[in-house]
Amino acid sequence: MFAIVPAVATVLSMPYYLKLLVRDTPLVRPGLLLWAKLAADAALLGVYAASLALWRQVQTPKFGGSASTAVAAAAMSLVAAICWLGKLPITHIYEKQPSAFLSIVLALTGLA
C-alpha cells in the first residue's frame, strides 16, 4: 500500500509535466548530469520490472491473498518509473530548481 500511493501521485502528475514541455522554453541544456539521472532511473526501471516478474510467480494462498496487492504495487511502481523517464528530462531542462515533488516522491519510494 505504501508503494502504491507515491506511484499513483507520479502518474497523476504527468499532465503537468507535459504542459511544461509544450509551453515553456528550455532553460538548461542537457549534459552529463541528465544522462546520469536517466541511467539511474533506467536501473530503477529494471529493478521494478524484476520485482513485478518475481511477485507474479508467488503462490497467492500461501500468503493469504497479499500477493495480489504486491503485484499491483509492483505494476504501479513500474508505470511510475516509466513516467519518471519522461519527467526527469523535462524537469532538468525546463526548470531552474530541482523538483520538490519528484524529490519527495522518490524519497517515499525509497522508504517503501
The answer to whether the CB of 77 falls within 8 A of the CB of 109 is yes
> Helices 66-94 and 14-23 meet at what angle, rounded to 10?
20
Q: What is the pTM of this model?
A: 0.81
Query: Which pLDDT value is given to residue 59?
Result: 62
Q: Which residues, including other chains, have CB under 8 Å from residue 25's CB and lie 6 or more apart?
A: 94
Query: Which pLDDT value is given to residue 36?
Result: 92
Task: Identify residue 87 by its one-letter amino acid code.
Answer: K
Query: Which pLDDT value is given to residue 82?
Result: 93
The answer to whether the CB of 95 falls within 8 A of the CB of 20 is yes
Burial class (CB in 10 A: 0-12, 13-18, 19+), 103: exposed
pLDDT in tens, the chain (112 residues): 577 888 888 899 899 888 888 888 888 888 898 899 899 889 989 999 999 998 888 766 665 556 778 888 889 989 999 998 988 888 888 888 877 887 887 787 777 6
Query: Which pLDDT value is given to residue 102?
Result: 78
